[in-house]
Amino acid sequence: MPSPPIVIAHRGASAYLPEHTLEAKALAHAMGADFIEQDLVLSRDDEIMVIHDVYLETVTNVASRFPGRNREDGHYYAIDFDWAELRQLDAHQRMDPETGRAVYPDRHPPEGATFRLHRLGDELELIQELNRAKGKRVGIYPEIKNPAFHRREGRDISKRVLDVLNAYGYSGKNDRCYLQCFDPAELKRIRSHYHSRLKLVQLLPENPLWEPGFDPSTLGKIVSEIAQYADGIGPPLTLSDTRADEDGYSHWISLTDLAHDRGLVVHPYTFKKEMLPEGANLVAFTENFLKRTGVDGFFTDYPDLGVRSVKRAGASPNAPIRN
Ligand code: CA
């Protein structure tokens, strides 16, 4: 029996509480997520912050708390602040900088309860303590954000992240940790320069593969190259969704199979209600997706519904359906 797909809580239980807050992580743990995601950037004093962007203003009150601390491009960068300052910020749901409104109007409102940013170590302690208290083995799924930006700032974020992960007991193939990044050069460096034995996941971007002129026959070659240094791929879910062949790109159906043939796991992103038409059922959609594609896990903003989808997919006697 193959193991059931893993549910990866995308930025925590981010559909219910502000993304990347400790509260959202604790809720994801309680909801039964198998892994919890951490997006990572550096502060000025080399602390590893858990936050999605290298800048702060879309998810915190930095502009009102520290006015004038933005750069010329208007952004307030985490790397220009010390942890002692960052910890004073109020964190909230993601805001659209264009409209000034919440990106997801039905989610936790930006006003009201106060949330805080935190560091990678804070979150690892929380998850490990919850694991101990509940007798669980919930894993972690850290992402190194924008290593090129950090390098331009004179920093080596991967070195710091590997050190902290190691200090908390995550260093080997069998540890409950997948380390992810969009930048292939950085993942190769982590493998060959730092000799990390962690499971590495190459994220695949939303756009380039879909652009006109992309030759689908090269997909096998791309996956083979990734298999040289990584253990898995994180594609946008459309890329591993068989419905792609409606556009005539039937070669792309087999991305998951191509990856499996080369020993890679496949963890697509990101399942959320908001991507479906009004009234559509996320559990039914996810259940069908899992059966159709045979992926090994998936990122979701709704870990509770993800767990339910996996149970339903496992309860059904049908083998994976291939369109
Ligand atoms: Ca991420």
Q: How far is the CA of 180 from the centre of ligand 1 (A)?
A: 8
Cβ atoms of 230 and 198 within 8 Å: the answer is no
Pick the CATH number of 6-54+117-312 from 3.20.20.190, 2.40.50.140, 3.40.640.10, 3.40.50.300: 3.20.20.190
* Distance in Å, CA 163 to ligand 1 centroid: 20
Residue with tokens 């298999």: 227
- pTM tops 0.75, yes or no: yes
**How remote is the CA of residue 94 from the centroid of ligand 1, in Å?**
14
Q: One digit per residue, pLDDT tens: the chain, 323 residues? A: 578 999 999 999 999 999 999 999 999 999 999 999 999 999 999 999 999 999 999 999 999 999 999 999 999 999 999 999 999 999 999 998 888 899 999 999 888 778 999 999 999 999 999 999 999 999 999 999 999 999 999 999 999 999 999 999 999 999 999 999 999 999 999 999 999 999 999 999 876 565 666 666 677 788 899 999 999 999 998 877 643 343 455 544 568 888 998 999 999 999 999 999 988 999 999 999 999 889 999 999 999 999 999 999 998 745 444 43
Which are the catalytic amino acids? 10, 52
For residue 54, give both structure tokens: 């290298």
Ligand 1 center–CA 183 separation, angstroms: 13
**Angstrom distance (rounded) from CA 57 to CA 41:** 14
Calculate how far, in angstroms, residue 319's C-alpha sits from the geometric centre of ligand 1.
31
Of 188, 251, 192, nearest to 217 by C-alpha is 251
Q: Is the dihedral of CA 310, 205, 110, 21 positive or negative?
A: positive
143 Cβ partners below 8 Å, 6+ apart? 37, 38, 39, 40, 179, 180, 181, 203
Q: How far is the CA of 299 from the centre of ligand 1 (A)?
A: 9
